[in-house]
Structure 1
Amino acid sequence: MTRPRILVVGAGFAGVGCVRRLERRLRPDEADLTLVTPFSYQLYLPLLPQVASGVLTPQSIAVSLRRSSKYRTRIIPGGAIGVDLRSKVCVIRTITDRIVDESYDYIVLAPGSVTRTFDIPGLVDNAFGMKTLAEAAYIRDHVIAQLDLADASQDPDERASRLQFVVVGGGYAGTETAACLQLLTSNAVKRYPRLDPKLIKWHLIDIAPRLMPELGDKLGRSAQEMLRRRGVEISLGVSIAKAGPREVVFTDGRVVPTRTLIWTAGVVASPLIATLDAETVRGRLAVNAGMDLPGHDGVFALGDAAAVPDLVNGGDAVCPPSAQHAMRQGRTVADNVIAALRGEPQRVYRHRDLGLVVDLGGRDAVSKPLGVELHGIAAQTVARGYHWSALRTNVAKTRVLTNWMLNAVAGDDFVRTGFQSRKPAKLSDFEYVHAYLTPEQVRERVEERGEEAAVDTGDGGGTGEGGGPG
């Protein structure tokens, strides 16, 4: 008899939280555990703006899965591009572009999210994203390169366009990105005596009427005031009408010459969810309070890709796609997978938000822990304390704390690492949203591989490998 096969898709807060709990609570001979992820690390996403601004090194927020696991989990380096729920097969594209069919008995879907884009002319070809470690490191190189090129240029128009920066998205990611990068340029320009600091302009725009509305009116206004005091121009009720390589057009008609457009206007569930041909809520997989998929045995979904009922707030709404919920959902799903294995009753997910923290760089921050409104040094202490405690390994905690201390004492050297090549890398180069199969392609592939296996072995089982879909 073979052991039950548990397949976890995704190594974000939800997926890693689930895997770690399964490793701790499953008996060694009780099940085989496999994790599908392109990278062998968990990215601590909330600190990504501090990587882009050089406060933290990329390695410090990339928590090694092999260091933090108990080595029981088999890791497949790749991404799931389709799932056949009926045949219980997950189609995986490895990092070498091989297509692998992985069978499972239980599957935990935590593929996360991708950047939400709209049908705006030129957007995906001219905007930078801020969702991955590579994007954060690339943006830092790009911003410093704009200072270098502006300093070397004799053309005042080119210099002006290189020193204007536009960030779209007034949520936590966009606000922290604009704040941290503005601090980077204001400190770096001191090393460029030929550049007039007044030429550096940061624009933060959002179609919503307020920045970070979850903070409430008072803290939201406080955050805006901090940014405006530092020279960030905030435009609300505005978005992008057109994006070009050297200028962007706002929906209010303004034309801003710029070589830097950073797009952080929200996220949507991973395109993997659309391959399941299952019910969704605004693109997220519709699951029940135990995070299993109704009508499909052994299928669980959580995190950004799942519409998990928020029982604390009545159950009509769904849990927001935050790290707080994802981490705790991972533990609950792990317990429910084990319960399903052992024939025990399952748990429902309940969690009340602990609060919100926003680090704006330097001494600026706003926080709302347990409903208490803070700003300034007190807010930054809470924000960094929360992030530091949430890091999974002592090595990661040591690296982050050391980086913070070193940056506070010694500052930054503002050097480029060489990430930027002659060809710019934009949204379309970092997120492979067109790499997924359609539900029909998934079914056709699984049926074809099943027929081949039946010819080769005399039965309908087995795992196939081969090229991509036609």
Structure 2
Amino acid sequence: MERSRIVVVGGGFAGVTCARRLERRLTAEEAEITLVTPYSYQVYLPLLPHISSGVLTTQSVAVSLRRVLRRTDIIPGGVVGVDTQAKVCVVRKITDEMVNVPYDRLVLAPGSITRTFDIPGLDEHARGMKTLAEAAYIRDHVIAQLDLASATTDEEERRSRLQFVVVGGGYAGTETAAHLQRLTTAACRERYPRLDPSLVRWHIVDIAPRLMPELGERLGHRALDLMRARGVEVSLEVSVDEVTADRVRLTDGRVLPCRTLIWTAGVAASPLVGTLGAETIKGRLVVTPELAVPNLDGVFSLGDAAAVPDLVQGQGAICPPTAQHAQRQGRTAADNVVASLRGRALEPYRHRDLGLVVDLGGADAVSKPLGIELTGLPAQAVARGYHLIALRTGVAKFRVGANWLLNAVAGDDFVRTGFLASTPARLQDFEYTDSYMSREKVREHTKTLVTRA
């Protein structure tokens, strides 16, 4: 019997969980499993704010795929198009070499990119927080602003370098602002005698009427109070109107002197979705409750790229793009791939939310495990305990725990490494949003490229 060829696209929570479970459910004689991902690690995204503030090292949250996957063939690159008729993926390797990768079953988990809008100056001046490189870059950039503000005698320049704007009042934006505000305040007090800590201003801007509305009204207000008590200004029901190199204009008319705009205003499905010609909901692939893509033979999709029906909530709801859902969908997708190969019935994805955790740095946190509302140290213990449990390997758990302990005992470092200093640092530079091919180009390539053996 010929081995089935299973291709998994994406090395995030959904894709890696799926590939790992496929290894366990299928023998090497039954199937050849291939994972296409640009990097040989999986990033634990919820801890990126800890990377940006230097609490954790980059290696701590980059879990080696070679430790997690034992017999999956990993292709270093990205799928830039899929010929669903020929059942072939067009892969651009990190060397820019193009190859065809045929499949019998395809699992699409390409994840998401930072969602942007048509705002003057945004593409050029905004910095994202979606990738490990972006988190590391932002840390260097923020510390560079402190260095430059300390060195200048121009008060206007100093004010603009010491004001930081984070757009997006969700988990990513709030946690990023909280951790970096803590870092810059400590830096000014301990290492920059020429800088008045009161001049360092952090500002969260969000078009929504509440900060982190998923937390509920009481915990959301508690988080808002915590942020404002620490000196973070929060502007709700306001957005950005224009961005330049040294200022940000808001839709309410205010102009903020600012040289750092961190954009975390939501995510959009990977552009790969738009090349398939399949039905979408708000840019995400329509899938059945079993995670199969209708009218595409042998194709499954999950995670941020798929509009997975939320059967628990019902009424047409779709699952939010969270790590919690992505991991559990990965297991369901793997089980359904196996079932499809063995001629068995597919099972629908169904999951009840386990709760939310928000780490605001130090002893500040708000959490809602299993519906129980917590704040302060108990919430922080739950948040960090959850992250440790969720990390895939013992090595990663040890590194993260050791980094947290070292930071608590030794305090923060304020080292600027010069990482990616010469990179423009636009969103597309880090997220490769312009790499995808049209359906017509895909079909041309599947006819002309050498098929990978």
How would you bin the TM-score normalised by the shorter chain?
over 0.9
> 1:345, 1:381 → 2: CA distance?
41
Structure 1 Cα separation of the partners of residues 53 and 427 of structure 2: 19
Following superposition, the deviation at residue 186 of structure 1 comes to 0.7
Unaligned runs of 5+ in 2: none
Partner Cα separation in structure 2 for residue 21 and residue 97 of structure 1 = 30
Aligned residue in 2 for 1:463: 451
Q: How does 1:361-376 map to 2 (within 5 A)?
A: 361-376=361-376
1:80-159 alignment to 2 at 5 Å?
Answer: 80-159=79-158
The residue aligned with 1:341 is 341
Deviation at 1:175? 0.5
What is the CA distance between 1:164 and its match in structure 2? 0.4
Task: Map residues 262-281 of structure 1 onto 2, 5 A cutoff.
Answer: 262-281=262-281
Measured against aligned partners, the alpha-carbon deviations of 1:267-303 in whole angstroms (never above 9, x if no partner) come to 0000000111111111110000100111222100000
**More displaced 10-residue stretch of structure 1: 122-131 or 413-422:** 413-422
Alignment-derived partner of residue 385 in structure 2: 385
Q: CA deviation at 1:448?
A: 4.2
Distance in 1 separating the partners of 2:48 and 2:223: 19
CA distance in 1, matches of 2:28, 2:179: 45
The equivalent residue for 1:452 is: none
Q: How does the TM-score come out when normalised to structure 2?
A: 0.98
Percentage of pairs with the same residue: 68
Alignment of 1:388-407 (within 5 A): 388-407=388-407
Aligned residues of 2:54 and 2:413 also touching (Cα < 8 A): no
What secondary structure sits across from 1:311 in the alignment? Answer: coil
Show the counterpart of 1:3. 3
- 2:72 corresponds in structure 1 to 73
SS in 1 for 2:312: helix
Q: Distance in 1 between matches of 2:53 and 2:426?
A: 18
Which residue of 2 is the match for residue 169 of structure 1?
168
Which one-letter code corresponds to 1:312 in the other structure?
A: V
Q: Does 1:62 align with 2:50?
A: no
> What pairs with 1:225-244 in structure 2 (closer than 5 Å)?
225-244=225-244
Structure 2 residue 436 is the aligned partner of structure 1 residue 436: yes
Could you tell me how far apart the structure 1 residues matched to 2:186 and 2:110 are?
A: 37
Q: Which residue of 1 aligns with 2:188?
A: 189
In structure 2, do the counterparts of structure 1 residues 95 and 44 end up closer, same or farther at CA, with 3 Å as the change threshold? same
1:360 is aligned with what amino acid? Answer: L
Q: Deviations over 1:387-439 (max 9, x none)?
A: 11000000000000000000000011210122142454232321221110112
Q: Which residue in 2 is equivalent to 1:246?
A: 246
Instruction: Check whether the contact 1:309–1:315 (CA below 8 A) recurs between aligned residues.
Output: no
Distance 2:18 2:426 in 1: 32
Counterpart of 1:194 in 2: which secondary structure?
coil
What one-letter code is carried by the residue in structure 1 that aligns with 2:360? L
Distance 1:448 1:397 in 2: 46
8 Å CA contact 2:428, 2:434 repeated in 1:
no
Q: Secondary structure at the match of 2:203?
A: strand
Residue identity opposite 1:78 in structure 2: G
Q: Which residue does 2:295 correspond to in 1?
A: 295
Is the contact made by 1:142 and 1:420 (CA closer than 8 Å) also made in structure 2? no
Deviations 1:23-76 (A, max 9, x none): 111112111010000001110000000000011100000000001222x11100
Alignment partner, residue 212 of structure 2 = 212
Q: What is the alpha-carbon distance in structure 1 between the residues aligned to residue 17 and residue 82 of structure 2?
A: 22
Following superposition, the deviation at residue 80 of structure 1 comes to 0.7
SS of the residue 1:238 aligns to = coil
Q: TM-score, normalised by structure 1?
A: 0.94
Q: Distance in 1 between the 2:428 and 2:42 partners? A: 23
- Any conservation in 1 of the 2:166–2:261 contact (CA below 8 Å)? yes
Aligned partner of 1:354 in structure 2 is 354
Alpha-carbon distance in structure 2 between the residues aligned to 1:423 and 1:314: 45
Partner of 1:221: 221
CA shift at 1:447, angstroms?
Answer: 3.7
Partners of 1:434 and 1:121 in 2: how far apart? Answer: 19
Q: CA–CA distance in 1 between the matches of 2:416 and 2:15?
A: 33
Counting matched residue pairs gives 452
Deviation larger for 48-57 or 306-315: 306-315
Whether the 8 Å CA contact 1:90–1:101 is kept in 2: the answer is yes
Q: For the residues of structure 2 that align with 1:403 and 1:18, how far apart are their CA atoms?
A: 29
Aligned counterpart, 1:283: 283
Structure 1 equivalent of residue 53 of structure 2: 53
| Alpha-carbon distance in structure 2 between the residues aligned to 1:302 and 1:257 | 41
- What's the secondary structure of 2:128's corresponding residue? coil
* Alpha-carbon offset, residue 265 of structure 1: 0.2
In the aligned structure 1, how far is the partner of 2:153 from the partner of 2:429? Answer: 31
Equivalent-residue separation in structure 1 for 2:185 and 2:252 (angstroms): 28
Contact 1:289 1:349 in 2 (8 A): yes
Secondary structure at the aligned position of 1:312 is classed as coil
Give the conservation status (yes or no) of the 8 Å contact 2:290–2:347: yes
Listed one character per residue, the Cα deviations across residues 346-381 of structure 1 (whole Å, up to 9, x for unaligned) are: 111100010011001111100111111111111111
Q: How far off its partner does 1:444 sit?
A: 2.7
For the Cα contact (< 8 Å) 2:87–2:102, is it kept in 1? yes
